[in-house]
Copies of this chain bind each other. A is one copy, B any other.
Amino acid sequence: MRTSTLVPVLAALGDDTRWSILAALGEGDASASALAGRLPVSRQAIAKHLQLLEQVGLVEPVRVGREIRYRVLGARLGETARTLEQVGAQWERRLATIKQIAESL
């Protein structure tokens, strides 16, 4: 995963409302109107969040009759997780090196 696309995904994931949307979608695809019935926010607010989530690839629209259901994409979350893991491991390696040098003195 490119670093340039990482930050927007993380920013999208750093919001409680969007997580409640993702959690709801995690139990089955749903439209913006359907989600508005379950969550304490308006349909338009949810529509905005879904648009943002779609932009960063965390969600995918699926036409069903006259409604547009959204499907959550776990793969994107996996990519993001692996990128973070790599960066974290890199930092830990540096700290381990420093500790090793300090102990050898």
25 A-B pairs within 8 Å (CB atoms) are namely A3-B19, A7-B13, A7-B15, A8-B14, A10-B10, A10-B13, A12-B14, A13-B84, A26-B87, A26-B94, A27-B94, A74-B87, A74-B88, A74-B90, A75-B88, A77-B84, A77-B85, A77-B88, A78-B89, A78-B92, A80-B84, A81-B81, A81-B84, A82-B85, A85-B85
Residues of chain B with a CB closer than 8 A to A73's CB: 91
A16, closest chain B residue (CB): B7
Determine if B15 and A11 form an interchain contact, defined as CB atoms under 8 angstroms apart: yes
A interface list, Cβ under 8 A from B: 3, 7-8, 10-16, 19, 26-27, 71-78, 80-85, 87-92, 94-95
Q: Which residues of B contact A77 (CB under 8 A)?
A: 84-85, 87-88, 91
